[in-house]
Amino acid sequence: MAHADKGPPNNPIAAFFKIEGTPIAFVFLLLVLLFMLTAPRAFMGFRVYMSFMANVPPPMIIALGLTLVVVAGEMDLSFPSVVAFASYVFCALYQNYDMTWLALLAALATGTVMGFVNGLVVTKLGIPSLIATLAMLFLWGGLVTVVSNGASLAIPDIEGELIHSVFAGRIGVFPVQFLWALGVAVLIWMVLNRHRFGESLLFIGDNLKVAKVVGIAIDREKIKLFTLMGLLSAFAGVLLTMETTTYFSQAGMGYLLTVVAAVFIGGTSIFGGAGKVVGTVFGSLIVAIIEAGLVASGVAGFWTRFFIGLVFIVSVTMNAAIEDPDKVPLLKDLRSRARR
Torsion 79-85-91-94 (CA) sign: negative
Are 255 and 83 in contact by the 8 Å Cβ rule? The answer is yes
The predicted structure's pLDDT at residue 232: 98
pLDDT above 80: residue 79? yes
Report yes or no on 3 lying in a domain.
no
How much is the mean pLDDT over the chain? 87
Report yes or no on 5 lying in a domain.
no
- Count other C-beta atoms under 10 Å from residue 12's C-beta: 9
pLDDT above 80: residue 29? yes
pLDDT above 60: residue 297? yes
Separation of alpha carbons 1 and 6, rounded Å: 10
Give the model confidence (pLDDT) of 265-289 as tens digits: 888 888 888 889 999 999 999 999 8
Are 111 and 227 in contact by the 8 Å Cβ rule? The answer is no
Whole-number percent of the chain with pLDDT over 70: 88
The predicted structure's pLDDT at residue 5: 42
Q: How many residues does the chain have?
A: 340
Choice among 24-28, 237-241, 258-262 with the minimum mean pLDDT: 24-28
The predicted structure's pLDDT at residue 165: 94
Instruction: Work out the average pLDDT over 215-233.
Output: 96
319 vs 129, residue with greater confidence? 129
Separation of alpha carbons 258 and 283, rounded Å: 9
Report yes or no on 12 lying in a domain.
no
Report yes or no on 271 lying in a domain.
yes
Give the model confidence (pLDDT) of 48-59 as tens digits: 888 889 999 999
Report yes or no on 6 lying in a domain.
no
Give the model confidence (pLDDT) of 137-150 as tens digits: 999 999 999 999 98
The predicted structure's pLDDT at residue 328: 67
Structural domain boundaries, residue 33: 21-150+159-244+251-339
Which of the listed ranges 159-163, 230-234, 253-257 does the model predict with the highest average pLDDT? Answer: 230-234
First to last CA, the chain: 32
Separation of alpha carbons 257 and 262, rounded Å: 8
DSSP collapsed to 3 states, the chain? CCCCCCCCCCCHHHHHHCCCCHHHHHHHHHHHHHHHHHCHHHHCCCHHHHHHHHHCHHHHHHHHHHHHHHHCCCCCCCHHHHHHHHHHHHHHHHHHHCCCHHHHHHHHHHHHHHHHHHHHHHHHCCCCHHHHHHHHHHHHHHHHHHHCCCCCEECHHHHHCHHHHHHHCEECCEEHHHHHHHHHHHHHHHHHHHCHHHHHHHHHHHCHHHHHHCCCCHHHHHHHHHHHHHHHHHHHHHHHHHHHCEECCCCCCCHHHHHHHHHHHCCCCCCCCCCCHHHHHHHHHHHHHHHHHHHHCCCCCCHHHHHHHHHHHHHHHHHHHHHCHHHCHHHHHHHHHHHC
| Residue 264 CB contacts under 8 Å (≥ 6 apart), including other chains | 70, 270, 283, 312, 315, 316, 319
Are 94 and 100 in contact by the 8 Å Cβ rule? The answer is yes
Separation of alpha carbons 51 and 167, rounded Å: 16
- Count other C-beta atoms under 10 Å from residue 20's C-beta: 17
Instruction: Work out the average pLDDT over 2-20.
Output: 49
Report yes or no on 4 lying in a domain.
no
Strands 246-247 and 153-154: antiparallel
Report yes or no on 65 lying in a domain.
yes
Q: What is the CATH number of the domain that holds 294?
A: 1.10.3470
Which of the listed ranges 105-109, 169-173, 317-321 does the model predict with the highest average pLDDT? Answer: 105-109
The count of structural domains within the chain is: 1
| Residue 198 CB contacts under 8 Å (≥ 6 apart), including other chains | 68, 71, 191, 192
Report yes or no on 25 lying in a domain.
yes
Q: What amino acid occupies position 297?
A: S
The predicted structure's pLDDT at residue 230: 98
Nearest to 147 by CA among 238, 252, 249, 255: 249
